[in-house]
Amino acid sequence: FALIADWYHFGILELTTVEGFQSDAGWIAKKMGLQKELVKIALERLIRLELLKKNAHGQFVATNDFSASPDGVPSEAIKKYHRQVLERALSALDTQSVQERDITNVMFAFDRSKMPQAKSAIRDFRRSFSKAVGGPPESRKSDSVYCLAIQFFRLDQDITKEK
């Protein structure tokens, strides 16, 4: 994961399924708001890692139909990835209309012993959501790349622990 920890690697993989996708670094760079040289490096890396390939028509295609970062594994690379996704979400608050985005939350009291069940329910939701609104790559009619980021974290401090 450390080799593709920057958010745009997953974004490029998903972009390959968007209607009208062009296997051109310049087009990809413009569509994703990235520098062309950065896209070229990312494409080479994705091909080398066999996450991206060219089909018989010379078009880039992702070799896997689901892009998600690993969870439950402490890693600086994963932290970097999530930090970048959160920064993109913050930017969307200012740059996207409410018709283009949905950033919501709910706060509630929670029994921390249920964290494994909470993580499982969130993982199941992400997968079912992706299938329900995205569908399998071969039948998609996509025109954009979106990121579903669900944050579930503690807001209070544990004052029972001694420092």
Mean pLDDT for each 10-residue chunk of the chain (163 residues)?
85 89 93 94 95 93 68 78 90 90 89 94 92 75 87 68 56
pLDDT at 131: 86
Cβ contacts of 77 within 8 Å, gap of 6 or more: 1, 2, 5
pLDDT at 51: 93
pLDDT at 3: 83
Q: 60 - beta bridge partners?
A: 54
pLDDT at 29: 93
Cβ contacts of 145 within 8 Å, gap of 6 or more: 11, 14, 15, 18, 32
| Cα 26 to Cα 36: distance, rounded to the nearest angstrom | 5
pLDDT at 140: 67
Kindly state the helix (H) or strand (E) to which residue 39 belongs, with its residue range.
Answer: helix 36-48
Residue 161 in contact with residue 30, Cβ under 8 Å? no
